[in-house]
Amino acid sequence: MTATDDLSTDSEPGLKRSITGRQLFFYTLGDVLGSGIYVLIGLVAAAVGGAFWIAFAVGVAIAGITGSAYAELVTKYPQAAGAALYVKRAFGSSALSFLVTVSFLSASFAAAGSLASGFAQYFAELWPGPSELLVMLVFIAALSVVNFLGITESVVINMAMAFVEIAGLLIIMLSGIWYVAEGNAHFDTLLEFQADGSPALAILAGVALSFFAMTGFENTANVAEETIDPHRSFPRSLIGGMVVAGVIYVLVSVTAALTVDTSTLADSDAALLEVIKEGILPFSTGFMTDLFAVIAMVAIANTTLVAVVTQPRILYGMANEDVVPAVFNKLHPGRRSPWVGLVFSAVVVAALLVVGTLLTNAGSGLDLVARLATVTVLFLLFIYGLVIVSALKLRGQDETEQTYRANTPLLIVGLVGNAAILAWSIYDDPASLLWCAALLGVGLLLFLVERAIGTREVATS
């Protein structure tokens, strides 16, 4: 029996190592590609203008630098819990580790809610009958069931959906090539900025929005404990997946800017669909519109599935660190899934969607997709900064010849970039801090329960 086989046996008390390097690459690629390009590209276009592809390029660069810090830390500590574990190793503070855990959970909850809302908007293009809230809740419930089946099943489904979403983006890029070949493109559009404000501020605003599209790679770190040979697999799969995703993002953004008026993109709930509606390709526009709506829903489902997979595993890892109640480290005896955390996570996301829908229906003018995306970005930028600092602080510790080392000057650039985007996001949408506070309140409740129950269990043991 090989070492890998031994790690994958059912006798192993922890999570099962069953994810290959190739699966991990597509896990990262699928997660990053499906998150924002289908959902938020219109908002980025509204913030920047025709040059919004620059915002995606800058965002990808900063996220890629952050990803290299994750790659370094994963090769040192290939365990579930991700950023929370790294911060605890670096600072030795359970309180700070807990804050990171709750922030990451909150970001994942908000991201799943934002994507579920985006899914419902594309769904309405095909079947406008059901209410948006019903579609969102059924969507989250279905993905939770897939997650319950197990990590291997979830990753295989993720891989299949990744190919579908890549096909959708290839259709967009093919439309751009066709458009240029016909001589219809006006390339000066790619350097146009919104009239009000400076180009630098416009790009910063666009990066703050587009950064949601770059997130997802950190979810990969949370399946480290279930990956075969993580020291070799993670750096190549994580960074490689982000580089490929970044190139695709820029090409798709350029296509959208060349083929569709910026104002049309800005006003659309399903902005990439506007490229298809232009009828550029020599196929039935109606058929292509319906096909692309299905592809977009698969893409969004792909990213949301990764978030749903990640949430209970964060809780599982931190329960083992005695930060949240021990009930979250329970695994289903048959499926080996962290089912308690899965149920809890689904309830929190559903609550976000219900509250957001009620506020929207009350005439608050809330854009649920944008608000939850901003909340996600605020939490993640805070975490990313701490991860980079942790990578630098842990230099020289727990290293072997297998440890990957990120470029130090680039890490410093990434730290400054994350701080700038965080400051702008708060300035641009201060109301999002209220949503952040509410989600942190959920985490505080978990902390208080752990302090009460955990202390009682120790006293009676």
Residue 326 lies inside a defined structural domain of this protein: yes
Residue 285 lies inside a defined structural domain of this protein: yes
267 residue type, one letter: D
- Kindly state the DSSP code that residue 13 receives in the 8-state scheme: S
Alpha helix (H) ranges present in 237-334?
A: 240-259, 262-267, 271-277, 285-320
Cα separation of 161 and 23, whole Å? 12
For the beta carbon of residue 402, count every other beta carbon within 10 angstroms: 12
Q: The tokens 């329970």 sit on which residue?
A: 330
Cα separation of 242 and 28, whole Å? 7
Model confidence pLDDT, tens digit, residues 301-325 = 887 887 888 788 878 877 877 777 8
Q: Which residues 6+ apart lie within 8 Å of 321 measured at CB?
A: 81, 84, 85, 88, 94, 97
Domains held by the chain: number? 1
In DSSP terms, which residues pair with 184 in a beta bridge? Answer: none
**Contact of 69 with 387, CB cutoff 8 Å:** yes
The residue among 114, 112, 118, 107 whose CA lies nearest residue 376 is 107
- Kindly state the DSSP code that residue 238 receives in the 8-state scheme: I
- 93: domain CATH number? 1.20.1740.10
Residue 449 lies inside a defined structural domain of this protein: no
For the beta carbon of residue 359, count every other beta carbon within 10 angstroms: 14
What are the tokens at 233?
Answer: 């697999």
What is the predicted pLDDT for the residue at 18?
62
Residues of the chain predicted below pLDDT 70? 1-18, 30-31, 34-35, 80-81, 150-155, 158, 195-197, 216, 219, 222, 224-225, 332-336, 454-461
Model confidence pLDDT, tens digit, residues 123-167 = 998 888 889 999 999 999 999 888 777 666 666 776 777 788 888
Cα separation of 66 and 70, whole Å? 7
Cα separation of 325 and 446, whole Å? 7
What are the tokens at 215?
Answer: 């997130």
Q: Residue length, the chain?
A: 461
In DSSP terms, which residues pair with 227 in a beta bridge? Answer: 19
Radius of gyration of the chain (CA): 21
What is the predicted pLDDT for the residue at 88?
86
What is the predicted pLDDT for the residue at 461?
44
Residue 219 lies inside a defined structural domain of this protein: yes
Q: The tokens 């120790």 sit on which residue?
A: 458
**Contact of 282 with 100, CB cutoff 8 Å:** no
Residue 437 lies inside a defined structural domain of this protein: no
Q: Which residues 6+ apart lie within 8 Å of 446 measured at CB?
A: 102, 324, 325
The residue among 249, 247, 348, 256 whose CA lies nearest residue 307 is 348
Residue 336 lies inside a defined structural domain of this protein: yes
Residue 2 lies inside a defined structural domain of this protein: no
Domain ranges, residue 104 = 16-430
Residue 146 lies inside a defined structural domain of this protein: yes
